[in-house]
C-alpha cells in the first residue's frame, strides 16, 4: 500500500470517528435545558389554592414547571363537628392528596385558622417561603375579601413583594436577585375595585384533575361548606354520587369563570378558540413586583399560541 492510500484510509477512520461522536452528542438546543419556571401560590386555608389555581398548576406541572401551594393557616376550625389538631391533620392529608393529583408540592403552615395577622413575624415567614422556592411567579388572593385570613394572606404577600429582594431583611435566606411577577387569583368582590384579569387559562385539558381535587377535599366540600350554607341534604352518600356532585359543582365554578371573561379568552385565543373554552381560571397582575410585558406574560402562561 502506498503512502497516499494509507493517508486516505487514516483520514477515513478519523472522519468515521467524528461522525460517531456527532451522532451521540445532543443537538445544541437540547444540550442544556432551560431552567424550569418556579411558581408559589399562597392561600389562607387548605383548599384555597386548589380552588383558585389547581387547574393552572396542573397545566404548568405538565410542562415541567415547579409549583408549590402554601396554606398560610392550618384550617383547624373549618368544620362544624371537629376542630383543633385532628381537623388540621385531616386537612393537611387532603391537600397532600391534591398535590399528588396535580403533580406539585404543598405545605401547610402552623398558624391557627381564623387567627392570621399581618405581623412582622408572618411577613418574614412568607418572605422566606418565596425565597426558598426561588420563585419566578407568586400568586395570592386580593385584599378585597370577606374573610380576615384571606385579606391578611394578601397583605402579607404584598408586604413581601419588595422585601424578597432586600438582602438585609431575613438575611438567613439569600434574597432573590430578580423580583418575581406577583399575580392575584379571581374573586367577585367589587369594592373598592373589581377583579380585572390579565390572563384567563383554559382548563378543559385538566378539568378532571380539578374535579378530583374537589373530591379529595372531602371535609370541606362534602361536610363543612354544605353544612355552613345549608345544602348538606344534597350531598350524596355513595361514592359514584359524590363524584358526580363534585363534577357538577367544580365544572359550574370553572364554567362561570370562562363565561365571565369570554372576551379575554377571545382576545387570547381568537374568536373560534376563545368561544370553544368551557372551563377556566383567571389571574390579574399585581402592581407590586416585576411588571411583565405581554410577551413575558404569555411566556409564563404558554397555553395560547397566536390568535
Query: Given the C-alpha cell 368551557, which residue does it identify?
Result: 278
Average pLDDT over residues 39-59: 98
Helix axes 48-62, 85-102, angle to 10 degrees: 20
Question: Which pLDDT band holds residue 60 (cuts at 50, 70, 90)?
Answer: very high
Query: Do residues 289 and 138 lie in contact, with contact meaning Cβ atoms separated by under 8 Å?
Result: yes
Give 9-15's long-range contacts (Cβ < 8 A, gap of 24+): none
Evaluate if residue 29 carries a pLDDT over 50: no
Of the pLDDT bands very low, low, confident and very high (cuts 50, 70, 90), residue 15 is very low
Confidence of residue 3 (pLDDT cuts 50, 70, 90): very low
- Kindly report, residue by residue over 202-240, the tens digit of the pLDDT: 999 999 999 999 999 999 999 999 999 999 999 999 999
pLDDT at 305: 79
pLDDT band at 24 (very low <50, low <70, confident <90, very high): very low
Average pLDDT over every residue of 63-71: 98
Instruction: State pTM to two decimals.
Output: 0.88
Question: Between 41 and 12, where is the model more confident?
Answer: 41
pLDDT at 193 over 70: yes
**Where do the H-state alpha helices sit in the chain?**
3-24, 28-31, 48-62, 85-102, 120-133, 148-163, 207-216, 218, 225-228, 239-260, 262-276, 294-300
Mean pLDDT of the chain: 91
Quote the percentage of the chain above a pLDDT of 70. Answer: 89
Fold of the domain built from segment(s) 38-202+279-300: Rossmann fold (3.40.50)
Predicted local confidence at residue 20, as pLDDT: 29
Q: pLDDT grade, residue 30 (50/70/90)? A: very low
* Segment 269-286 mean pLDDT: 97
Counting runs of H as helices and runs of E as strands, what totals does the chain give?
A: 12, 7
C-alpha grid cell for residue 154? 394578601
Integer Cα distance of 248 and 250 in angstroms = 6
Percent of the chain predicted with pLDDT > 90: 88
Give the pLDDT score at 34: 75
- Judged against a pLDDT cut of 60, whether residue 10 lies above it is answered with no
CB-neighbour burial class of residue 86 (10 A; exposed 0-12, middle 13-18, buried 19+): exposed
Are residues 70 and 109 in contact, defined by beta-carbon separation less than 8 angstroms? yes
Q: Is the pLDDT of residue 4 over 80?
A: no
pLDDT tens across 101-133, in order?
999 999 999 999 999 999 999 999 999 999 999
Reported as a pLDDT band with limits 50, 70 and 90, residue 306 is low
Amino acid at each position: 500500500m502506498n503512502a497516499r492510500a494509507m493517508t486516505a484510509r487514516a483520514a477515513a477512520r478519523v472522519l468515521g470517528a467524528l461522525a460517531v461522536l456527532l451522532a451521540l452528542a445532543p443537538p445544541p438546543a437540547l444540550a442544556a435545558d432551560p431552567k424550569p419556571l418556579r411558581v408559589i401560590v399562597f392561600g389562607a386555608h387548605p383548599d384555597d389554592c386548589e380552588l383558585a389555581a389547581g387547574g393552572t398548576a396542573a397545566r404548568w406541572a405538565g410542562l415541567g414547571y415547579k409549583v408549590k401551594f402554601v396554606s398560610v393557616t392550618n384550617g383547624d376550625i373549618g368544620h362544624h363537628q371537629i376542630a383543633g389538631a385532628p381537623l388540621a391533620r385531616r386537612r393537611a392529608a387532603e391537600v397532600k392528596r391534591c398535590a399528588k393529583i396535580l403533580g406539585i408540592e404543598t405545605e401547610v403552615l402552623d398558624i391557627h385558622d381564623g387567627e392570621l395577622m399581618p405581623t412582622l413575624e408572618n411577613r418574614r415567614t412568607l418572605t422566606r417561603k418565596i425565597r426558598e422556592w426561588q420563585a419566578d411567579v407568586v400568586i395570592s388572593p386580593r385584599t378585597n375579601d370577606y374573610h380576615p385570613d384571606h385579606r391578611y394572606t394578601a397583605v402579607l404577600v404584598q408586604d413581601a413583594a419588595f422585601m424578597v429582594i432586600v438582602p438585609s431583611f431575613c438575611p438567613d435566606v439569600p434574597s432573590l436577585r430578580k423580583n418575581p411577577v406577583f399575580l392575584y387569583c379571581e374573586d367577585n368582590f367589587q369594592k373598592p375595585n373589581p377583579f380585572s384579569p390579565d390572563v384567563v387559562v383554559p382548563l378543559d385539558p385538566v378539568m378532571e384533575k380539578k374535579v378530583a381535587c374537589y373530591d379529595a377535599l372531602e371535609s370541606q366540600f362534602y361536610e363543612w361548606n354544605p353544612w355552613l350554607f345549608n345544602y348538606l341534604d344534597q350531598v350524596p352518600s355513595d361514592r359514584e354520587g359524590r363524584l358526580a356532585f363534585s363534577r357538577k359543582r367544580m365544572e359550574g365554578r370553572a364554567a362561570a369563570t370562562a363565561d365571565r371573561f369570554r372576551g379575554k379568552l377571545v382576545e387570547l385565543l381568537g374568536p373560534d378558540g376563545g368561544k370553544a373554552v368551557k372551563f377556566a381560571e383567571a389571574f390579574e397582575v399585581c402592581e407590586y413586583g416585576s411588571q411583565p410585558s405581554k410577551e413575558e406574560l404569555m411566556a409564563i402562561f404558554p397555553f395560547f399560541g397566536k390568535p
